[in-house]
Structure 1
Amino acid sequence: MPDDAVTEPEPIELPDWDTGPRGWPMAAASLRATVDDPTARRATRLADLQSQVRCLIQRARHEKLRVLLGALNRIDQEIDREHAQGSADLSRLNRLIRYFDRLVQHLQKTRDDTPEAIALYTGSTELPELLEDSLRRSGFGAHPIHLENPDPALLEHTGLLIYLARDTADHEREFTQLAELKKRMSACAQSLMISQRDDFAIRAAAVRAGIDHVITYPIDSARLNTLLTGARAYECDDEQITVLLVDDMATAGMYWRKQFARANVRLLFETRPQAAFDTAIAEQPDVILLDLYMPEMDGVDLARIFREHPQLSDVPILFMSTEERDQHRLEAKLKGGDDFLNKSIAGDDLIRMVRYRAQRYRQARAERRTDSLTGLLNHRAITSLVDSELDRAIRQEQPLSVVMIDIDKFKHINDTHGHPSGDRVIRRLSTLLNTRLRKYDGVGRYGGEEFMVVLPATEIDAAVELIDRLREQFAEIAVTTEAGDTIHCQFSAGVAGYPEHITPQEIISAADGALYSAKQAGRNQVKARHYED
């Protein structure tokens, strides 16, 4: 039989790795190995490849993995084309398999089991509704604990301790117990107090007890969610931070690179002002360390340039110098610096300082990007995410879907049940979106009762199916109004994305148009806007 002869693939059974989510990476590796096998004839490789692909198509259909199914169907069609036309190489087929491999990697990230973090709460038998929603969104399982007789097993694995302060509680006694409790917990665990009171006395008592954060009523949802997200990711000093050091002495970079490397601090080092500016814009460091005296431009002038750029205006800037004169130090801080450190500072002390500054900066930045009612990304942050994810989709040759969601008849809800009840409906939907979507999906409050969802590596048809399931789930959620009544709400949604649309403005406009179509068609449904529409 000639090498290029078309052979009908025989049905084959996939090996044992075909079961469970871990099988998909092995399946992708098998496809790559088959197409790259130099020992097999071209026709044999194609036949073997098609047999595997068609088995995987059945599996993807069974598991309802629409994105993988679409990629596999394209591979199957390309194999048919190769059988019929016999191109000089299999480069297009290789590209499709690499694309499938990237989709599998995304799938694997979402399927990796992440143990539920434990949040212990004490001081009350009930959690406030908003706190319960926020804990669920941040991946915490809430467990009550008694200060007098805490469960040692829970303490060992706790990432967060919450104290719900009561007006009538014996705070002094309870704060003493909290301080003892914290000593028995991991040094990485965070603590949070939520109090009806907001005065110096209770805040001072919280500080003496070692409580890390204090929130008072009415609860600021944006700050709460920022703190919970930070507590969820907090693992002592393991989280990497990025520091830009600008110094005209190359030896300074060599010395501090060694010091920072042991503390998981990524050091960017520049000796020239222009290069430092370009690096700061490109890398967005958490902290900037500036030598005060440099030959081309002193640190004060460079700090002023950093401060004038919108992407760098809030980044902590720490001057480093042997300058001892108080007046010169004061002038330097007044012109853009946040602090002044002596170059002789011990390595451990500088590491502690930059970590502290980086943590405060990240927290403040997160709060600026967060909607105060829902804790989701705000309008500016979610629209910026569309821009960045579109760039990624184009570079990686992956689809991207953007969804616009609007709660149906929301004005009627506000008018009938009051604005606090309307806020509850908004928070219920935000919780649903944030807990049902993947970790790397973007969810934001676009404005009012309108939400935006950004779904990387997701084709429009798959996005429609996903959002439609969420629409059905939202309709089943019972929301209790301020008056104690129970109501059920619905939403409409529009979907558009790349490659059907190629600019952020086009995608958002198309999704908004699809949402309008869903509203016009009777509400409580999901519509898609394709290019030809």
Structure 2
Amino acid sequence: MNQDTDQQKASLKRLFARRLPGKLRQVSGYLQRMHSGEATAGLGKQLSLTLEHSIKSCETFGFQACARLLEQAEIQCHNPDADIRAQLIKALMDLAEELDGKPKLEAKTDTGIVMEPPSASTLALQPLWISLPERERNELMAPLALFGFAVSSQPGDTAGAASIAVVADHEAAHAIRSRLGDKMPPLVMVGDEDSIPARLQAVRAGASAYIVRPVHLPELIEALETINPATAGEPPRVLIVEDSKSQSMHYNKVLKEAGCSTAVVNQPLQVMEALHRLKPELILLDMHMPDCTGLELARVLHQMPGWRSIPMVFLTAEENPEKLAAAMAISGDDFLIKPVKADELKTAVLRRIARGRTQTQTLTRDELTGVLNLNALQSALDNQCALANRLGESLCFAHIDVDKLGELNSEHGHAAGNAVLQHLAALFSRRARQSDSIGRLGGDSFGLVLPGCHGDDAIRLIDGIRRDFERQPMIYNDKTLHVHFSTGIASHDGGQAGTLRDNAARALRWAKEAGGNRIQLANSN
């Protein structure tokens, strides 16, 4: 039980670490606004309240350096000092880049491009309505608070703020919808069955996501981030290219209130600086501008490496179907007819960014088995190695290989071999911890990244799976297939990810040479 609790704490710490750089950049952005004198009167008070909460969260998860910097930021809210604040802004940005594993950014000269964080209202805790049995709700409240959510059992408990979502089972969701109608927030349905009928029932009830009990916090947060990207650690990034200053200010205000980080460019020929600084996930682009039309700018960007596939939403007063079709043909993902309503703008932008993030995740999966592909697995290993080095945590990597799969393919056909790979991938996906990353290295090999895990722990976990896999023969086309696998495990010693992979591969060779169907720990006797 204690081991499960420790693993859960480690998983939450990694989840918090993933979201922390975005929070540091957000705070730095608000301090920049205060430093330049552009801040609203209530910004300092709201920032102070949020910093107090963030400091506690950082201390809970052991990010002491972050907590100390945020404490200095809180002092600046009450006793501002221009020189100290400027140094603090840079320190926060540098730490965010360090946590992301990126090199520090050099200071940029002022170009006149408006770069802004989300509005001050997004500093507040995100109100979340959970209508689940009391014990289940209470178990989620404290962990969710550490990630910036204010949980309540009623929509009115959140000081009048509209809930970003409601988490409920089918019975509660039906009662809530009957009471609120169209004003009901997005729904995350919780159920006991993982089946198509259960998921279909959730869809018909209007659910945007479905989670099978027991509710795991990372899965719930991922669902909330999919429904509304603004709840993620890194706010949605939108570049607004509009020659009208009044209209661009309106779009900017609406999107900041929706939780987006924005940049505004009123002269389209100056767009490159904003692109490199903001790295937008979407461009909101006016079709009719002097010097360079929106369609021309879209064509230019789609000729440039790095920007060829960036989503674009066109803004236009044009209702000619042929011209609108031409805009859509240049990778336009949507168009909005002016004057654009605020809700329409927020919905179009946030849904497209959420879809883009989901598509990015889809591109990381192995087509045959559904686990991570090689590039995504390598990225996961790189990130976990960097995180283990920064946090001083343990980490293991396992290289798993199906024994004698070539012989099975020769006897039963490659389709049978593929079925074995799919079965093994599914078994590891179900049995591995939620914090682990399972991916396909290629051919008949898989890799398993085990953060917060020592060598002996990794052996126990994988050996249990190995024994069950061996004891339960597969039935394929009425034929019984007896299959087993071997595994090499390496423990992280502070080196590079490549070294960890090489050590695991060497341990796998020892396991194979010893007859297979066994697990070998690198550097063990």
Question: Any unmatched runs of 5+ in structure 2?
Answer: 10-61, 63-142, 145-166, 171-189, 211-218
CA distance in 2, matches of 1:385, 1:20: 22
Cα deviation, residue 295, structure 1 = 7.9
In the TM superposition, what are the counterparts of 1:381-530 in structure 2 within 5 Å?
381-485=376-480, 487-496=481-490, 498-502=492-496, 504-530=497-523
How many residues of Structure 1 are paired with residues of Structure 2 in the alignment? Answer: 335
2:240 corresponds to 1:246: yes
2:223 corresponds to 1:233: yes
Cα distance, 1:251–1:458 mapped onto 2, change above 3 Å: farther
1:179-204 deviations in Å (ceiling 9; x for gaps): xx789x4211679xxxxxxxxxxxxx
Are 2:229 and 2:350, in contact at CA under 8 Å, matched by a contact in 1?
no
2:368 corresponds to 1:373: yes
Are 2:252 and 2:264, in contact at CA under 8 Å, matched by a contact in 1?
no
CA distance in 1, matches of 2:246, 2:292: 19
Name which of structure 1's ranges 313-322 and 368-377 shifts more when overlaid on structure 2: 313-322
Cα deviation, residue 250, structure 1 = 6.4
Question: Any unmatched runs of 5+ in structure 1?
Answer: 1-16, 26-70, 72-107, 110-114, 119-137, 146-157, 162-180, 192-228
Cα distance, 1:189–1:353 mapped onto 2, change above 3 Å: closer
Are 1:292 and 1:321, in contact at CA under 8 Å, matched by a contact in 2?
yes
Partner of 1:187: 206
Are 1:246 and 1:276, in contact at CA under 8 Å, matched by a contact in 2?
no
Cα deviation, residue 479, structure 1 = 1.3
Partner of 2:112: none
Cα distance, 1:448–1:356 mapped onto 2, change above 3 Å: same
In the TM superposition, what are the counterparts of 1:179-328 in structure 2 within 5 Å?
185-188=204-207, 233=223, 237-238=227-228, 240=230, 242-247=236-241, 255-260=250-255, 265-271=259-265, 273-279=271-277, 281=279, 285=281, 287-292=282-287, 299-300=294-295, 303-304=298-299, 306-308=301-303, 312-322=307-317
Are 1:188 and 1:236, in contact at CA under 8 Å, matched by a contact in 2?
no
Partner of 2:69: none
2:332 corresponds to 1:342: no
What secondary structure, in the 3-state scheme, does the structure 1 residue paired with 2:207 have? coil
Cα deviation, residue 261, structure 1 = 5.7
CA distance in 2, matches of 1:379, 1:490: 22
Cα deviation, residue 406, structure 1 = 0.4
Cα deviation, residue 356, structure 1 = 4.1
CA distance in 2, matches of 1:445, 1:22: 27
Cα distance, 1:330–1:187 mapped onto 2, change above 3 Å: closer
Cα deviation, residue 411, structure 1 = 1.6
Partner of 2:95: none
Cα distance, 1:389–1:188 mapped onto 2, change above 3 Å: same
TM-score by length of 2: 0.52
Partner of 1:96: none
Cα deviation, residue 310, structure 1 = 6.0
TM-score by length of 1: 0.52
Are 1:280 and 1:312, in contact at CA under 8 Å, matched by a contact in 2?
no
Cα deviation, residue 525, structure 1 = 1.9
CA distance in 1, matches of 2:348, 2:251: 14
Are 1:290 and 1:318, in contact at CA under 8 Å, matched by a contact in 2?
yes
Cα deviation, residue 329, structure 1 = 5.5
Cα distance, 1:372–1:288 mapped onto 2, change above 3 Å: same
1:156-207 deviations in Å (ceiling 9; x for gaps): xx5x12xxxxxxxxxxxxxxxxxxx789x4211679xxxxxxxxxxxxxxxx
Cα distance, 1:411–1:233 mapped onto 2, change above 3 Å: same
